[in-house]
Amino acid sequence: MTFEYVKALHIIFVVTWFAGLFYIVRLFIYQTEALQKPELERNILKPQLDLMSSRLWYIITWPSAVLTLIFGTWVLMYRWDYMELGFMHAKLGFVVLLYIYHAFCHVLFRELQSGKARWTSTQLRIWNEASTILLFAIVFLIVLKSTISMVWGILGLIGLSLTLMLGIRLYKKYRLKKEK
């Protein structure tokens, strides 16, 4: 019975972690765009966006990442036999990439909190989709429990990536057209 509770908590914190990752990069986009506004607007927007980012990052996203790791490790201890299967190695590889993504988001967070925007809003929109791709890879691997299907999964991820890039380009054209 304990296993089901631990697994449920792991899933809950994965969901809250991803929610935080998805939204924090949206806030990065808004912060970047706010830095390009005239001084009066910037002075109003930046403190509010900084506060929102800080609360999201430190109250939801970071704790969820830590609790995901704790409960995920606990789940793995119950299902150590999965470590003999290739799908689990692939899944854990994608999880490592997700923690690297999280760490890089922390770098972006600190830069934007100090008023430095290294990336454009379009680059951040593309960056935001990396977590979506990782989510797809991790969920499909854990549900299908198969690396044989990895070829189809990789083709699917490539298709998803191309679709997301097309969507970002179309949205950029729409925004530019609307601003004129």
Using one digit for the tens of pLDDT, what is the confidence trace for 128-167?
989 988 998 898 888 888 766 666 777 777 888 888 888 8
Looking at residue 178, its pLDDT comes to 83
Parse the chain into domains and list their residue ranges. 2-179
Q: Write down the mean pLDDT value for the chain.
A: 91
Evaluate if pTM is beyond 0.75: yes
DSSP 36: T
Looking at residue 10, its pLDDT comes to 97
The CA distances from residue 8 to 5, 74, 83, in Å, are 5, 12, 20
Is residue 10 part of an annotated ligand binding site? Answer: yes
